[in-house]
Chains A and B, each alone.
Chain A
Amino acid sequence: MYYWHWLKNVVHRPHTTGFPTERDQAVAAMSDSDGIRTGDAGATGVLRRALAIRHVDAGSCNGCESELALLSGPDYDLSRYGFSFTPSPKHADILVVTGVITEAMVPVIKNVFEQMTAPKRVVALGACPIDGWVFHGAPGVRGRLDGIVPVTTTITGCPPTPGDILRGLLAAVDGVDPAVGKEGGR
């Protein structure tokens, strides 16, 4: 049956979107045009090619995880930019943190960040690690990733779409939001 799938894919166009480096109406419609904020905090050195992502859940509602899982699917295929998920922080170049940042996860995030080798980047994924979102002020919730580890890029959205996550990851690597333009950057 899988041979049939391969044959079918030769005839049809692949599912993979060109977003964010090419135009794709369907994905751009779901995207939040100014959802990416990127800076130089913690961005030391230049990252090239194979980029391993370590994801840490610090109190998320499962939405960002669902979208992250879809990134490796055929529609977004994050491996075409060289990204991959890694189980080990020591292999990781990019730390992606989701969720509201509970007190219990603060030492874990610090530990993971310290184990990553430089150069490295930190991405705050979703509205929760930026300002706590609807959980702001809940008991045991820190609500901000900033101040625990230096945050290079923030991606807003609840949850951000896979297209925006890809944009944010690319922006974290070289400091340029690929959907906006080529000016600036590292």
Chain B
Amino acid sequence: MDMEKTIAPAVAGCGTAQDWIDAWRTARTEGSDTVMLTSDGPILSVLLMNRRTGALSRLPWDPRQSPWEEACQPSWAGIGETLGAESRIGQERPDLAWQSSKIPSVRGKGIFVYPLGPVRADVAEALQYRLHVMGDEIVRLTLQNGFKERHIRDLVVGRTVAEALPVVARFTTTSNIHHTLAMVHAVEDAWQIQVPNWVRVTRTLLAEMERAYSHLGDLAALAVSTGLPVPQMEYLHLKETLLRISFSLFGHRYLRGTIVPGGLSTSGWSQDADPVGCARVVSDVLDQADAMAVGLERTSSFLDRLHGAGRVPSETVEWGRPVGPVGRASGLGMDVRQVRPYADYEDSDLRVPVEETGDAYARFRVRVQELDESLNLVRRILGGWHPREISSDESAAVVSGAPIKDYGVGIVEAPRGLLAYWMRFAPNGRIAHVGIATPSERNWAVVPDAMANSNILQDFPIIDASFSLTVAGWDG
């Protein structure tokens, strides 16, 4: 892995804010993707990743070098993917004089605003949608988040790695393995730890289990949003089946606490588990999920609601560069597992589905194909895997003492897309700063434009379910 390489600054010493933004925009057009924007002390840093080689570069800017009047905002300069980070930094740093990035509301005769949330739907996370409608048509959507801000980035500063892991694993539970994995990669990067092959294989297994149950839950939500409870129930049953397999093998339904720096924590694992039997059940799940997808593809009432609904406009795709299934459904075929293979993905030949239309149907198709791929991978690994081959955990010995590098980067492909941790460590091994870029935070930025793209109010729950983003990932 090329994670050990030091990240070279892309441009040495950007002068003014304008220079910084221009260099950032140039890097974006020349084949790099923004991974995150973070503010460590006074310096703002952008982490960029080359879309083909996966090479990382960093673009720092010191706001003390130029007066604030000249400061311009990334989202106004056509860089939308760090909108969430931008508004967070804007609140913390009044010296930047960044304007809050709220989309202006629409006024006019016959326009109503439906406030929806933070208490909404049956079981839903706290987020307020303000739907501006004219008759039935949605003309504008504004999102109000921050109801469930837990300040995880501040909470973990000053802690040791072992103390921070339980907090990070509760960022978003339906991607907790990927959050842990990204942080563990950052730690292993800083301490220069290589993990043995069986650890990598097991981590791939855990990650793909998580992707599979997460996608099954999202597909259930999509099915019921179109008024189809039968596929919803089937998908929920398949999800429960996978969660029970997780429990029987790893002692936790959501696999939490299984990954630690330098290895795996096997304390809760069942030693007399039957992975081959589980592989057989996963195979059944795969067959049933395929049959469900075929059934839905033949259900005209389902297809009618999805085709053309919530299309992300192409200029918004360019501005916000969404990641994960949302990005891949809009023609951005980036998958971290291919670009920067981690765990065991280098050896597993992965098929990454890409759709071009960018509507709810494309997101459904991408999710169905990814689910298929994940379950296949899980089945393949489980067939030749046994917990007995894995020795006890090595976490305590590994993270004590000083890190070899003072920072580390971990980038993974979570079920909802690119997830990155950029951590700086104090000489005593405690966390000095952490930048976290979650896929949900990034993808929420393109939701308003997709929603206000000649859709009617009745399409709202379907489009919302087709994105299936978490609010916990935004309000970390």
Contacts and interface: CB of A to CB of B under 8 A. Distances in A.
Nearest to B118: A108
B233 A74 contact: yes
Interface stretch (A37-45, A64-72, A174-182): A64-72
Given A73-B240, A134-B166, A161 B253 contact: yes
A181 B207 CA distance: 40
A57 interface: yes
Contacts of B122: 55, 85-87
B174 A63 contact: yes
A67 to B, nearest CB: 8
B434 to A, nearest CB: 14
A138 B150 contact: yes
A137 B151 CA distance: 10
A69 B229 CA distance: 13
What DSSP secondary structure best describes chain A's contact surface?
mixed
Contacts of A15: 237, 240
Contact of B125 (A57, A72, A133): A57
Interface residues of B, number: 52
B123 A85 contact: yes
Contact of A105 (B126, B172, B239, B470): B126
Interface string A10-26: 00000100000000001
Contacts of A89: 119
B87 interface: no
Interface string B66-104: 000000000000000000000000000000000000000
Contacts of B298: 1
B172 A135 contact: no
Contacts of A2: 230, 295
Contacts of B40: none
Interface residues of A, number: 50
Interface in B227-260: 230, 232-234, 236-237, 239-240, 243-244, 247, 253-254, 256
Contact of B154 (A61, A105, A134, A138): A138
A64 B171 CA distance: 13
Contacts of A60: 125, 148, 472
Contacts of B256: 158
B200 interface: no
Contact of A73 (B149, B155, B237): B237
Contacts of A159: 173, 253-254
Contacts of B13: none
B47 to A, nearest CB: 25
A122 to B, nearest CB: 14
B220 A69 contact: yes
A161 B148 CA distance: 22
Given A63-B173, A73-B239, A138-B155, A5 B123 contact: no
Contacts of A86: 122
B302 to A, nearest CB: 12
Interface string B457-468: 000000000000
Interface string A81-107: 000011101000000000110101100
Which of A58, A59, A68 has the most B CB atoms < 10 Å from its CB? A59
Contacts of B166: 134
Interface string A134-148: 110111110000000
Contacts of A117: none
A63 B254 contact: yes
A149 interface: no
B119 A108 contact: yes
Given A62-B470, A100-B150, A75 B172 contact: no
A138 B151 contact: yes
Contacts of A47: none
B170 interface: yes
A5 B147 contact: no
B262 interface: no
A118 interface: no
Given A74-B233, A86-B122, A140 B217 contact: no
B368 to A, nearest CB: 16
Contacts of B295: 1-2
Nearest to A30: B247
Contacts of B230: 2, 5
A58 B148 contact: yes
Contact of B120 (A61, A68, A87, A104): A87
B303 interface: no
A108 B147 contact: yes
Contacts of B147: 58-59, 102, 104-105, 108
Contacts of B171: 61
Contacts of A57: 118, 124-126, 148, 471
A1 B291 contact: yes
Interface in B120-136: 120-126
A72 B122 CA distance: 11
Closest 8 CB pairs of A and B: A63-B173, A73-B236, A85-B122, A59-B148, A61-B170, A62-B472, A75-B240, A57-B126
Given A59-B150, A62-B471, A73-B237, 15 more contacts: A5-B230, A29-B247, A59-B475, A62-B174, A63-B174, A65-B123, A66-B254, A70-B236, A75-B236, A75-B240, A86-B122, A87-B120, A102-B148, A108-B118, A141-B150
7 contacts: A1-B294, A55-B124, A59-B150, A70-B239, A73-B233, A134-B167, A137-B155
Interface of B: 118-126, 146-152, 154-155, 166-167, 170-174, 176, 217, 220-221, 230, 232-234, 236-237, 239-240, 243-244, 247, 253-254, 256, 291, 294-295, 298, 470-473, 475
